[in-house]
Amino acid sequence: MVDFAAIRNEFPILDQEIHGHPLVYLDSAATSQKPQRVIEAESEFYRTINAGVHRGAHELAARSTTAFEDARAKVAKLVGANAEEGEEEIVVTAGATAGLNLLATAFGNASLGRGGEAARRFALKPGDEIVVSKAEHHSVLLPFQELAARTGATFKWLDLTDDGRVRTDNLDEVITERTRIVAVTHVGNVTGAITDIAPIIKRTHEMGGIFVLDACQSVPHLKVDFHALDVDFAAWSAHKMYGPTGVGFLYGKREMLEALPPASFGGSMVELAWMDQPAQYMLPPARFEAGTQPVAQVVAAGVAAEWMMAIGMDRLEEHERMLTDELLKMGDIDGIRIIGPRENVKRIGTVAFDVEGVHPHDVGQFIDAQGIAIRVGHHCAQPVHRHFGLYASNRASCGVYNSIDDIDALLEALAKVRPFFEV
Ligand SMILES: Cc1ncc(COP(=O)(O)O)c(C=O)c1O
């Protein structure tokens, strides 16, 4: 039995009032709150072992390197990736956006002939195809759209069903023998819908393509195993999984990472550098980690990963499924339309909605006045909103610290919105 009330008490930020009401935080899809142990891990690192990693022969440098690599191993374990030295499959990035841009830039570099023969598998040319879905966050949409523009590849996408799920009924039409890269979200950040990625991955691989997963909204909420899923690459952010801001991770199958050319250049990623010859780059993950690492943040992200595994991703999933059941009751309130699946099937506790006749910002402000934090706007996913005939929406999203009382406070406030605005 997990004591979720005790878990909530680990989050100091939740113990406060906003506008005279106890804070109800329902914006975890934007960023999660941090348990005390994660906050502590970061300051403890600075208090005791702060030093650069993989450089310097002194004891502190050795300790910080060990802490950094231990954290990488914990994160790897959370997602079913390899962590043994020489087999690492987790690259430290500045976040999901940085990881996705790293990939798109590296594929672009391969298209210019960088990385030699090994990198040819990533190279794109006119006539090749890149496929995304209409559910994508702009941090998938834009890097891959730019990559298409730079290489002359054709940019295509998988459409959505009426309730906003990525369509998989026409994969044979969209993913063809010309498709080189398919990049799709695991969970829609607007709809909360879990994408049926298995057939998309299968089709991509049958066509000889590379599959990239946006795991931003899945790793914090679902048990994921990238080996079992057979994804080639996956990117996500630490700050949505109870870890610090400014850091994220890119998973790559080891053989893929070894073949991929670097995307940014500088210290700590090069074996040999000369004035008059091309440099010889290090093996992954160092090849993709140019510059000084956000060591304290990575160490704290490792603590977050370990803490999630200790709760148990199954139990965390179960708790959030229970919250989602309650959250979806908003669909019964007059004038509220849920943007995404209305049933609690293959979805997470991220629910976007439209209140008929009231602008999302007015809804957000009204809800905020009751001490409840939700997101308003297009959530960096404009094509999804257009699919629903909207420009913006409201979004409530759960984390492990939420309770049924939180959801009920939201439902109660939502029921008052249209009467308040006299709609
Ligand atoms: C599905 C999805 N992908 C990518 C991102 C980008 O993450 P970050 O802003 O942490 O780089 C987000 C963040 O909102 C997201 O929800």
Instruction: State the CATH number of the domain containing residue 141.
Output: 3.40.640.10
Which residue, chain included where needed, has tokens 């509220």? 336
* Statement: residue 358 has pLDDT above 90: yes
Same domain, 143 and 230: yes
Ligand 1: atom nearest CA of 95 is 11
* Tens-digit pLDDT profile for residues 190-213: 999 999 999 999 999 999 999 999
Q: How many whole angstroms from 307 Cα to the centroid of ligand 1?
A: 22
Nearest Cα neighbor of 187 from 159, 151, 154, 222 is 222
Task: Return the pLDDT at 415.
Answer: 98
Task: Return the pLDDT at 374.
Answer: 98
For residue 180, report the phi and psi dihedrals to the nearest 5 degrees. -105, -35
Residue 380 appears among annotated catalytic residues: yes
Domain boundary among 309, 334, 355: 309
DSSP 210: E
Strand ranges (E), 186-225: 210-214
Ligand 1: atom nearest CA of 237 is 10
Same domain, 81 and 169: yes
Task: Return the pLDDT at 57.
Answer: 86
* Tens-digit pLDDT profile for residues 301-313: 999 999 999 999 9
Same domain, 346 and 403: yes
**d(Cα 36, Cα 34) in Å, to the nearest integer?**
6
* Statement: residue 55 has pLDDT above 80: no
Q: What range defines the domain where residue 335 resides?
A: 4-30+312-420
- What is the rounded average pLDDT of the residues 134-138? 97
Same domain, 19 and 54: no
Q: Say how many C-beta atoms besides its own lie within 10 A of residue 277's C-beta.
A: 8
Contact 50, 292 (CB under 8 A): no
What's the token pair of residue 349?
A: 């506790």
Same domain, 327 and 301: no
Contact 135, 384 (CB under 8 A): yes
Same domain, 327 and 274: no
Mean pLDDT (the chain, rounded): 97
Share of the chain above pLDDT 90, in %: 98
Task: Return the pLDDT at 322.
Answer: 97
DSSP 235: E
Domain boundary among 274, 292, 309: 309
320 lies in a domain? yes
Same domain, 237 and 365: no
**d(Cα 22, Cα 57) in Å, to the nearest integer?**
50
* Global pTM value: 0.97
* Statement: residue 262 has pLDDT above 80: yes
Q: Which residues line ligand 1 (CB under 6 A)?
A: 95-97, 137, 139, 185, 189, 214, 216-217, 237, 380
* Per-residue confidence band for 72, with pLDDT thresholds at 50, 70 and 90: very high
Task: Return the pLDDT at 403.
Answer: 97
Q: How many whole angstroms from 227 Cα to the centroid of ligand 1?
A: 22
Same domain, 155 and 57: yes
Q: How many whole angstroms from 52 Cα to the centroid of ligand 1?
A: 28
* Per-residue confidence band for 56, with pLDDT thresholds at 50, 70 and 90: confident
Task: Return the pLDDT at 324.
Answer: 98
* Statement: residue 235 has pLDDT above 90: yes
Ligand 1: atom nearest CA of 380 is 14
Residue nearest to atom 14 of ligand 1 (CA): 30
* Per-residue confidence band for 320, with pLDDT thresholds at 50, 70 and 90: very high
Domain boundary among 256, 286, 309: 309
37 lies in a domain? no
241 lies in a domain? yes
Contact 188, 177 (CB under 8 A): no
Same domain, 92 and 8: no
* Per-residue confidence band for 20, with pLDDT thresholds at 50, 70 and 90: very high
Of the candidates 380, 390, 411, 415, the residue annotated as catalytic is 380
36 lies in a domain? no
Nearest Cα neighbor of 348 from 333, 329, 330, 327 is 327
Number of domains in the chain: 2
Query: First vs last Cα of the chain: how many Å apart?
Result: 45
**CATH of residue 387:** 3.90.1150.10
Contact 351, 384 (CB under 8 A): no
* Tens-digit pLDDT profile for residues 145-156: 999 999 999 999
Same domain, 247 and 383: no
Q: How many whole angstroms from 61 Cα to the centroid of ligand 1?
A: 32
* Per-residue confidence band for 1, with pLDDT thresholds at 50, 70 and 90: confident
Same domain, 167 and 256: yes
Task: Return the pLDDT at 317.
Answer: 97
- What is the rounded average pLDDT of the residues 43-51? 97
Contacts (Cβ under 8 Å, ≥6 apart) of 272: 279, 280
* Per-residue confidence band for 54, with pLDDT thresholds at 50, 70 and 90: confident
Same domain, 88 and 25: no
